[in-house]
Amino acid sequence: MSTHDTPLAPLADALGDRLLTPDHPAFAETTTVFVGGPPRTPAAVARVRSAAEIATALAAAQEAGLPVAVRAGGHHQSRHALVDGGLVLDLRLLDGVEIDAAAGVGRAQGGALAGPYTAAAGEHGLATGFGDTGSVGVAGITLGGGIGYLSRRYGLTVDNLLGAEVVLADGRVVRADADENPDLYWALRGGGGNFGVVTRLDLRLHEVGTVTGGMMMWEPSPEGLATILRTLAEGPEELSGMVNVMLAPPAPMVPEELRGKPVLMALLCHSGSDAAATLAPLRELKPLLDGVAELPYPGLFGGGGPAPGGIGDLRTGFLGEGTWSPDEAWATAAIEAVSAAPGPAAVNIRPMGGAIARVDAAATAFAHRDPAFMVSVGGNALASDGLPAAQEWTATAADALGVEGRGYVNFMGTATQDDVRNAYPEPTLARLREIKRTYDPENTFASTHNILP
Could you give the percent of the chain with pLDDT greater than 90?
Answer: 72
Check whether domain 210-411 has CATH 3.40.462.20, yes or no: yes
The 10s digit of each residue's pLDDT in 65-84 is 999 999 987 665 545 678 88
Dist CA 230 CA 224 (whole Å): 10
In which element (H, E) is residue 93 found? none
What does residue 394 show for φ and ψ, rounded to 5 degrees?
-60, -45
- Tell the CATH topology of 97-207: 3.30.465
* CATH match for 10-90 among 3.30.43.10, 1.20.120.1080, 3.40.640.10, 3.30.70.1560: 3.30.43.10
Domain ranges of the chain: 10-90, 97-207, 210-411
Dist CA 57 CA 73 (whole Å): 19
**Structure confidence at residue 350 as a pLDDT band (50, 70, 90):** very high
Nearest partner of 422 among 403, 437, 440, 447, judged by Cα: 403
Residue 34 has pLDDT above 80, yes or no: no
**Average pLDDT of 40-50?**
92
The three-state secondary structure class of 211 is: strand
The 10s digit of each residue's pLDDT in 154-198 is 999 999 999 999 999 999 999 999 999 999 999 999 999 999 999
Dist CA 232 CA 353 (whole Å): 10
The 10s digit of each residue's pLDDT in 282-312 is 999 999 999 999 999 999 987 544 444 567 7
Pairing of strands 210-218, 161-167: unpaired
Question: pTM of the entire structure?
Answer: 0.93
Residue 389 has pLDDT above 60, yes or no: yes
**Structure confidence at residue 407 as a pLDDT band (50, 70, 90):** confident
Helix, strand and coil percent figures for the chain, each rounded to 5: 35, 25, 40
Nearest partner of 313 among 202, 420, 387, judged by Cα: 387
Burial class (CB in 10 A: 0-12, 13-18, 19+), 83: buried
**Structure confidence at residue 2 as a pLDDT band (50, 70, 90):** low
Considering 24-38, 41-55, 377-391, 406-420, the range whose residues carry the highest mean pLDDT is 41-55
* Longest distance between any two alpha carbons in the chain, whole Å: 68
- Which pLDDT does position 419 carry in this prediction? 87
**Average pLDDT of 338-342?**
94
Dist CA 156 CA 189 (whole Å): 10
The residues pairing with 360 across neighbouring beta strands, listed in sequence order, are none
Dist CA 29 CA 47 (whole Å): 12
Nearest partner of 154 among 177, 121, 186, judged by Cα: 121
The three-state secondary structure class of 10 is: helix
Dist CA 175 CA 167 (whole Å): 9
What does residue 153 show for φ and ψ, rounded to 5 degrees?
-90, -40
The three-state secondary structure class of 330 is: helix
**Structure confidence at residue 1 as a pLDDT band (50, 70, 90):** very low
- Which pLDDT does position 78 carry in this prediction? 45
